[in-house]
Structure 1
């Protein structure tokens, strides 16, 4: 791995992925951009090469296609220059659960979960062997809030959070840093692609502000970064409350409150 590692970013043609590309290019990192829209990646790559003097490779891929996904996995396994993976590609769905076609749900789950875990799995052994490397997984605060009603999308983002925390627990002692970034509503094209009425949407965070905040968390080596959360103690309290339940999970009998009928 080079002293300034290359960064592979999925969903890199626009929005959060493009902003990560810009920020890492400014830091002097060479890039591998992954997305479906080759033309937009080429435009972005040309600008980054010109403005930052970094090398930028383009890998056109639809991560819901197993062949395309395998090609990205191969690049992660074989390219020892890549020391940072940004798992950013994702999508949402408009409407309530009962209105969402099952094929659309399957595609959403594949992109938001299967691709994330497979790409992390592709690169983790090499990072562990090197004793260094970083994986950034883009989740969402929606994964913490079923009350928002975005059931399938939120479930996929809850998966991303759990995956990131589990990977951090396993890989941090081996030198690999894993960060989960949980944005709140951010103005990107995901809303239009999900079929939302953009004119009816509330004010949202600018994508550049989001990524700048996430990178401060990255530099601080936070396990979970929630850019909109003003009081970090609230997350600490949330984690502490979860920890207090753990001893109860080790019991071999049902709790007393479940031993008699109401």
Structure 2
């Protein structure tokens, strides 16, 4: 059986990914801070699907605890799929943000998934197969709608995923960036928001099931709430049009006096 490691697996998006991959006969390594929840989910999945489930209690902000997960990614049995799901939000603008809170967010949303992917990808390349799912957000594309650095961390995840896909895709490793919009998870309450005041919430099961359709299609970027692929295609064409000018050795005429 292949093995998937899922971070933030105790609830929300991570727990649903764990259930879906268990149903696909993946053995699992579940990572989160909530030991009781992880153990309950592990018991559920072993009984329902007959898969092997390891539990690692870890706060990925803490370097020593992050190292435990890094070491598991580098050990046996090998990890065939990494789901970089653990993350947090930070409400409010940049100017008034607590530097300590921003440091924690950067550690969890940027540093941890980067180091976990680094620990996993080498062995995947050696085997010639593997996959990494990085959970980003639609605010990566519209940061002006979400003040502060949260959107920037998700922009990083999108950019990191696309650059990594270009590098390791030809070597057999598939990288998918998933961009949810507002989804009914505990991230909002933990950040101090009233979830009932957030419009257009997508249910977690719908989000993950749609993302897995994109996974099966080997999409590089999956945006479940966007109804038509043509919208993304137009965005990509516009991006390519901008890139066409990057090799010019002189500034554009609009910048010349």
TM-score normalised according to structure 2 size: 0.97
Which residue matches 1:103? 100
Greater CA deviation, 142-151 or 171-180?
Answer: 142-151
Which residue matches 1:216? 213
Question: For 2:240 and 2:180, how far apart are their aligned partners in 1?
Answer: 24
Question: What CA deviation, in whole Å up to 9, does each residue of 1:157-199 have, x standing for no partner?
Answer: 0100011111111111000000000001000000001111223
- 1:96-245 to 2 correspondence within 5 Å? 96-245=93-242
Structure 2 unaligned segments of length 5 or more: list them: none
Question: For 1:149 and 1:208, how far apart are their aligned partners in 2?
Answer: 24
Q: Please, what is the CA RMSD of the aligned residues?
A: 1.1
Greater CA deviation, 97-106 or 29-38?
Answer: 97-106
Contact 1:20 1:211 in 2 (8 A): yes
Which residue matches 1:252? 249
Structure 1 unaligned segments of length 5 or more: list them: none
1:86 to 66, 83, 86: 83
| 1:249 partner SS | coil
| 2:244 partner SS | helix
Q: Does 1:12 align with 2:9?
A: yes
Q: CA deviation at 1:109?
A: 1.1
| 1:99 partner SS | coil
Contact 1:142 1:150 in 2 (8 A): no
Q: CA deviation at 1:17?
A: 0.2
Q: CA deviation at 1:247?
A: 2.6
Question: For 2:239 and 2:189, how far apart are their aligned partners in 1?
Answer: 36
| 1:81 partner SS | coil
TM-score normalised according to structure 1 size: 0.95
Which residue matches 2:60? 63
Contact 2:131 2:174 in 1 (8 A): yes
| 1:159 partner SS | helix
Contact 1:177 1:221 in 2 (8 A): yes
